[in-house]
Amino acid sequence: MSETGERDPSELTDEEWREGLSKEEYRVLRESGTEAKFSGEYVDHHPDDGEYRCRACGTVLFDAETKYESGCGWPAFYAAEEEAVTTTLDTSHGMRRTEVRCATCDSHLGHVFDDGPEPTGKRFCINSVAMEFDGDA
């Protein structure tokens, strides 16, 4: 989103978001959409190190070390970077889930469940399209 410069992402207008993101990115990040199962570019992505940033604002969200193979069809992490994400109860689609959003720009990222591995027991189930991998970290 180069054209947005130094502005606080929470101040962007809807039109500016549409300009800066692809259709699919906008649908997931700004309309709480979900990419198709096993379709995301980071589902089978297992780098030794690096980090995953918010596709909308560039904030570091997850460390590659916390990524694991959950088999659920979306990238899964057992921990998020401290204070990088916010979680809220989501009762849409007749389910009780915990939604995960970027703490910086309030974009939708995915959901977190309590069936993850040790040490946290969490499974952050995140849309690939909501992230951008940064391997030079």
Please say which residue, 44 or 86, places its beta carbon nearer to Zn ion.
86
CA distances to 38, 49, 86, 87, 124 from 113, rounded to whole Å, are 18, 24, 14, 11, 6
Does 109 contact Zn ion by CB under 5 A? no
- Quick check: is 72 catalytic? no
% helix / strand / coil in the chain, to the nearest 5? 25, 30, 50
Residues 50-89, mask of contacts with Zn ion (x by CB under 5 A): ----x-xx-x------------------------------
How far apart are the C-alpha atoms of 14 and 98, rounded to whole Å?
A: 24
Please say which residue, 56 or 64, places its beta carbon nearer to Zn ion.
56
Does 105 contact Zn ion by CB under 5 A? yes
How far apart are the C-alpha atoms of 89 and 97, rounded to whole Å?
A: 6
R_g (Cα) of the chain, nearest Å: 14
Please say which residue, 56 or 118, places its beta carbon nearer to Zn ion.
56
Among the listed residues 66, 70, 104, 127, the single contact to Zn ion using CB under 5 A: 104
Does 102 contact Zn ion by CB under 5 A? yes
Q: Which stretch binds Zn ion (CB under 5 A): 13-21, 30-38, 87-95, 104-112?
A: 104-112
Per the residue annotation, which of 57, 102, 105, 125 is the catalytic one? 125
Please name the residues in contact with 109: beta carbons below 8 A apart, sequence gap of 6 or more.
Answer: 29, 54, 61, 85, 100, 101, 102, 126, 127, 130, 131
Catalytic residue positions, numbered: 125
Rule CB under 5 A: which residues touch Zn ion?
Answer: 54, 56-57, 59, 102, 104-105, 107
